[in-house]
Amino acid sequence: MTVTLLGVDCSTEPRKTGLALGELHGETVSISRCSICSKERPPAVLAREWLCESDSVLIALDAPLGWPRALGATLQGHMAGAALGKEPNQLFRRATDDEIKRRLGKRPLDVGADRIARTATAALRLLDCLRRGTGRPIPLAWTPDEDATWRVIEVYPAATRIAHGAPDQGGSLAGLDDLLDCSAVEPSVLAREDAVDACVCVLAAADFLRGRAVSPPNLETALLEGWIWAPGPLAQRR
């Protein structure tokens, strides 16, 4: 069964949210649709429209889907004025953020201490809207061959680019020409950074399906905090 891949470059505003739809064909990911959302056509509406006839779907969201484990544990019962008792990096960074930095040399924004938390909230709201609008549970995926027909993963376009040896430049397809076929997309759409990053999210989804993305060493922590799915460095895969 062909799996439909939906990449979402998430934002707190529809006009800055990019969506891309694609499929995996051998070593190439073909993008069939790509668009920037709007107030009239918000992400959940456009995604449901694109996916309405798909039986098997993998959604790749460029946003954190969880918060640091230590943050939740520390804030529970905390009273104003009391010390938190942990270092900031322990509170605001997730295990997956440290792993991406260690493996690929790029540190994602700290969801516990940055405005990215608002984007994370918007991504979770989008996911909830899709679940309610489609009647599908859409669980987080942890292995390529799970039974659920509609699943979702967290991705990070910068990590995907670096893992494939491409320049770490947002809104760019440089170095990904052999992996991403965007010929069906209007050039004016690909002039938007959010649209291009959504296409890279589709590539990240394909990496997951092909079993090339690195799994979490501690699933218990990943279930609470989320996990960024990206391959290891290209040099290590040769």
Contacts of 199 (CB under 8 A, 6+ apart): 7, 20, 22, 31, 34, 173, 180, 182, 185, 190
Q: What is the pLDDT of residue 238?
A: 45
Whether 184 contacts 30, CB under 8 Å: yes
Q: 235: pLDDT confidence band, cut at 50, 70 and 90?
A: very low
Q: Rounded to two decimals, what is the model's pTM?
A: 0.95
What's the farthest any 2 CA atoms get from each other in the chain?
57
One-letter identity of residue 60: A
| Structure tokens that stand for 56 in this block | 């098997």
3-state SS, residue 4: strand
Asked if residue 236 has pLDDT above 60, the reply is no
